[in-house]
Amino acid sequence: MLAKENGAKRAIILNVSVPSHCALMTDAADELAESLAGTEFADTHVPVINNVEVVPYENPDQIRDGLKRQLFSPVRWVGTVHYLIANGSDQIIECGPGKVLAGLAKRIDRSLATSCIDTPQSLQKILQLDD
């Protein structure tokens, strides 16, 4: 592997279904942008952290643009998790199938509580945490 030949301690081939976060997704990002342009977004009550720049977005146009750019730009997940921690987060909740991001967050900082919402039952369990 080229990475190991250049000094990487560990390199693995990832089995992915789409080439996310690279230039191969530019056309898909343009299609997403068209779809998002026709989607109504409300102003947020909490900041939305963009994974490309690791900055909070607070208005719909910024969020639309950030979602588009995430498809073809490298994301800064480690920086995003550090930003969340620095701003008071102590729990990461992943929404959707799989637990990859929650697992990565736990590797970044073992003190984080992590959860996943992937079924109606897991959503109910998370909602009960606030009670």
Give tens-digit pLDDT for 30-72: 999 999 999 998 888 888 999 999 999 988 999 999 999 999 9
pLDDT of residue 36: 96
Q: Specify whether 95 is located in the same domain as 67.
A: no
- Asked whether residue 37 is assigned to any structural domain, the reply reads yes
Strands 91-95 and 113-117 come out as parallel
Q: What is the mean pLDDT of residues 77-101?
A: 92
CA dist 22 to 73, 93, 94, Å? 5, 25, 22
Give residue 98's domain range: 91-131
Total domain count, the chain: 2
Instruction: Give dist(CA 1, CA 59) in Å, integer.
Output: 43
Q: Specify whether 111 is located in the same domain as 64.
A: no
State both tokens at 109.
Answer: 């900082």
CB within 8 Å of 69: residues ≥ 6 apart: 29, 50, 52
pLDDT of residue 106: 93
pLDDT of residue 1: 65
Q: Specify whether 70 is located in the same domain as 104.
A: no
The pTM (predicted TM-score) of the whole model is 0.78
CB within 8 Å of 35: residues ≥ 6 apart: none
- Asked whether residue 14 is assigned to any structural domain, the reply reads no
More confident residue, 87 or 18: 87
